[in-house]
Amino acid sequence: MKVAVVSDIHSNRQAFEAVLEAIAASDASELWCLGDIVGYGADPDACVELARRHTAVCLAGNHDMAVVGELPLDEFSRGASVAAQWTREVIAPANLAFLAELRPQGEEESLGLYHASPRDPVWEYVLSALLAELCLDVDPHRICLIGHSHVASAFVRREGAAATGEPRRDGAELDISSGEWMLNPGSVGQPRDGDARAAWLLLDLDGGSASYRRTPYDVAGAAAAIRAARLPNSLAERLEYGQ
């Protein structure tokens, strides 16, 4: 079984549509989303509707939870808070109801799925081998998938050794058939690793491999939509730089 994994779409319709097209051209049989369908971008309804139509598994991210009122907006940065409040005002009731049903963690095919981390599925950013080590200590699964940091990365712990890991670039191929793994597909809608292209992950669960993918999309169109919605200009500017 091959699975495409995405996270942190953030209402970026242009990026999500491009990734869905790339996934359709792959041999993935299912799509799993690790949360944050909405937030930052200008097309929440389109992105939620695409997620409803195409995902077999979908988690809630912290931005999704903010929009449905499960998290207070004062816990977010100004740009994130403004975008969440705007999304609350424009999103269709059916899409809001869909978001309200989601949870920030789950389990599929013996893999742990978390929006952020096994220790804190909502908020923890796993960006170091030390944090990965602490998360692997508490996660009961040999392989887990995380999002939230917007950085495509992989951490591994071999028997008798400490966890190691690093960001992963387009085309990176990993043998995950042994060891404990924590894999982050990166962000579809707002990458923060210096690569502006939309990020996703292709998992071969039977073959024991993971392949990191990047897909170009209409960045200018996504930025123009943010400006047209009168969201903070910084949310548009950062897309070009992958930050």
**Model confidence, pTM:** 0.97
Question: What is the third-level CATH fold of 2-241?
Answer: Purple Acid Phosphatase; chain A, domain 2 (3.60.21)
pLDDT recorded at residue 30? 98
Rounded Cα distance, 81 and 238, in Å: 17
What are the extents of the domains in the chain? 2-241
For 114, phi and psi rounded to 5 degrees?
-140, 140
Element (H, E) at 210: strand 209-215
pLDDT per residue of the chain (243 residues) written in tens, 0 to 9: 999 999 999 999 999 999 999 999 999 999 999 999 999 999 999 999 999 999 999 999 999 999 999 999 999 999 999 999 999 999 999 999 999 999 999 999 999 999 999 999 999 999 999 999 999 999 999 999 999 999 999 999 999 999 999 999 999 999 999 999 999 999 999 999 999 999 999 999 999 999 999 999 999 999 999 999 999 999 999 999 999
- The Cα-based distances of 158 to 134, 178, 213, 222 in angstroms read 14, 8, 25, 41
| Three-class SS state of 101 | helix
For 193, phi and psi rounded to 5 degrees?
-120, 20
The two structure tokens encoding residue 70: 């499960």
pLDDT recorded at residue 128? 97
Confirm if 169 and 130 have CB atoms less than 8 A apart.
no
pLDDT recorded at residue 19? 98
Please tell me what DSSP assigns to residue 75.
G
